């Protein structure tokens, strides 16, 4: 019997890991312990996704995100908490599995130093933009991992170029496909009632001119396509809008919502404006175009398959031309929806 620990802490991790949790739980030769770091501690960013995706409750919650702690405070707290938990509960893991690039994956570093084996899903994804805290996190986790699960062959190539041994990297496809296919009718074309605005990255909301330009572009889209803008109310973004005195006139705001409700919001949109990484993947499966207000993307496949386009303030006309000529994107680059089986099989073999 193998003891496997999964460590997750934010909304996208729960979604992407949902089928893997279930497969680990049902495997006859695996004892699975689920640890929630608590990086996302609000019900709308954590608990509700367990309900929507029918995921069991975590075995332990470390609550590192409470009271608005900074990223470095979370990192400092997480290492000792997770190590003390593993030792005090005699969990004796054969492997500790992380996904993604949140602050939670940085627990991999002290755990590796303690001698534990580490695995990382979403491995070797790169934007090469060090302004992104996520870029630093994913790189660090990759380089202490014993098993790396990459979405694409080109991610594996990037990892090898960084000196990660080829034998450690397994190309398995994208974990986002299964939860979407299992829960939603991907043939539903939607009502095209609105445009979604989703801005929550520090490289956008921390800079007044950049944030203002995104808001003004969104208003211009609303006028041009006669659709209301529905902006998600991420707390840090809303604080900065108020601090910078940026008006949201013509833009409707919406509280954060559960996964099912959010996907239906996407399905009923004309297109999405988002700086999220996940929002370059889910809309591809829903056949919705995405304008990405970033300078770089760790998902170039989305652009190559006509699913998204990077936002450039100096070339808005090109974005409008792309939106108006857009017909559909190719989502084959995300895989066929058997990723969780591949990952669990490899974990059991290794």
Catalytic residues: 200
Question: Beta partners for 252?
Answer: 230
**Phi, psi for residue 6 in degrees, rounded to 5:** -105, 140
**CB-based burial label for 227 (10 Å; 0-12, 13-18, 19+):** middle
**Residue position matching structure tokens 């003390």:** 84
**Phi, psi for residue 319 in degrees, rounded to 5:** -65, -45
Measured CA to CA, the distance from residue 69 to residue 11 in angstroms comes to: 17
Measured CA to CA, the distance from residue 241 to residue 258 in angstroms comes to: 24
Contact between residue 214 and residue 205 where contact means Cβ atoms under 8 Å apart: no
Measured CA to CA, the distance from residue 251 to residue 222 in angstroms comes to: 8
Please, what is the Cα angle at 17 between 61 and 10, to 5 degrees?
Answer: 50
Instruction: Name the DSSP letter for residue 44.
Output: G
Measured in residues, the chain has a length of 350
Please, what is the Cα angle at 292 between 229 and 158, to 5 degrees?
Answer: 155
Measured CA to CA, the distance from residue 91 to residue 307 in angstroms comes to: 43
Mapped onto helix, strand or coil, the DSSP state of residue 29 is: coil
């Amino acid at each position: 019997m193998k003891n496997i620990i999964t460590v997750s802490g934010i909304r996208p991790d729960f979604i992407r890991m949902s089928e893997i949790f279930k497969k680990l739980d049902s495997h006859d030769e695996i004892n699975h312990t689920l640890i929630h770091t608590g990086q996302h501690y609000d019900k709308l960013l954590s608990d509700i996704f367990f309900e929507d995706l029918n995921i069991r409750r975590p075995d332990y919650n470390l609550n590192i995100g409470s009271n608005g702690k900074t990223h470095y405070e979370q990192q400092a707290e997480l290492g000792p908490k997770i190590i003390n938990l593993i030792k005090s509960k005699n969990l004796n893991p054969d492997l500790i599995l992380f996904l993604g690039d949140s602050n939670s994956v940085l627990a991999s570093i002290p755990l590796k130093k303690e001698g534990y084996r580490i695995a990382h899903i979403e491995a070797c994804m790169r934007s090469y933009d060090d302004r992104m805290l996520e870029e630093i996190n994913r790189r660090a986790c990759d380089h202490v991992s014993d098993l790396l699960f990459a979405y694409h062959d080109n991610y594996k190539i990037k990892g090898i170029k960084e000196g990660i041994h080829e034998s450690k990297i397994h190309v398995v496809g994208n974990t986002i496909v299964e939860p979407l296919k299992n829960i939603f009718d991907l043939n539903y074309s939607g009502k095209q009632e609105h445009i979604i605005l989703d801005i929550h990255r520090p490289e956008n909301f921390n800079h007044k001119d950049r944030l203002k330009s995104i808001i003004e572009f969104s208003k211009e889209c609303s006028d041009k396509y006669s659709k209301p803008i529905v902006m998600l109310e991420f707390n840090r973004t809303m604080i900065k809008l108020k601090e910078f005195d940026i008006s949201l006139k013509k833009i409707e705001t919406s509280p954060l919502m559960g996964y099912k409700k959010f996907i239906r919001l996407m399905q009923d949109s004309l297109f999405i404006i988002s700086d999220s990484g996940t929002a370059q993947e889910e809309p591809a499966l829903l056949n919705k175009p995405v304008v990405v207000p970033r300078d770089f993307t760790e998902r170039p496949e989305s652009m190559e398959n006509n699913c998204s386009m990077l936002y450039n303030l100096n070339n808005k006309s090109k974005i409008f031309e792309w939106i108006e000529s857009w017909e559909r994107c190719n989502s084959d680059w995300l895989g066929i929806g058997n990723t969780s089986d591949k990952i669990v099989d490899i974990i059991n073999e290794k």
